Amino acid sequence: MKTESSSQDQQEQSHPPENQAPDPALLSTLAEELETDENIERLAKKLAKEWNEPAKKDQVPNLPFSEFLDKLKRTKDQ
């Protein structure tokens, strides 16, 4: 029974309530553990691949100035 309560205590310590900020020392330790050269390199490769892909254009925006003015007038009338 004591092991269940101690595991609950550990969970409560690692997950602060939503309105409470996490411990900066804990965040720093976690960042140091996760920010390995391997992980940073993997992230850099992933981002480079995403940025080098052509942009997906499903819809061409309709941006004539006259339509913009009409829409602006309608919203002001509301």
Q: What's the pLDDT at 17?
A: 66
What is the number of domains present in the chain? 1
46 within a domain of the structure (yes/no)? yes
70 within a domain of the structure (yes/no)? no
Range of the domain at 37: 22-50
10 within a domain of the structure (yes/no)? no
- The CB-based long-range contact list for 71-75 (8 Å cut-off, 24+ gap) reads none
For the segment 20-47, what is each residue's pLDDT rounded down to a tens digit?
Answer: 888 889 989 988 888 899 999 999 999 9
pTM of the model: 0.37
Q: What's the pLDDT at 47?
A: 94
Beta carbons of 16 and 22 less than 8 angstroms apart: yes
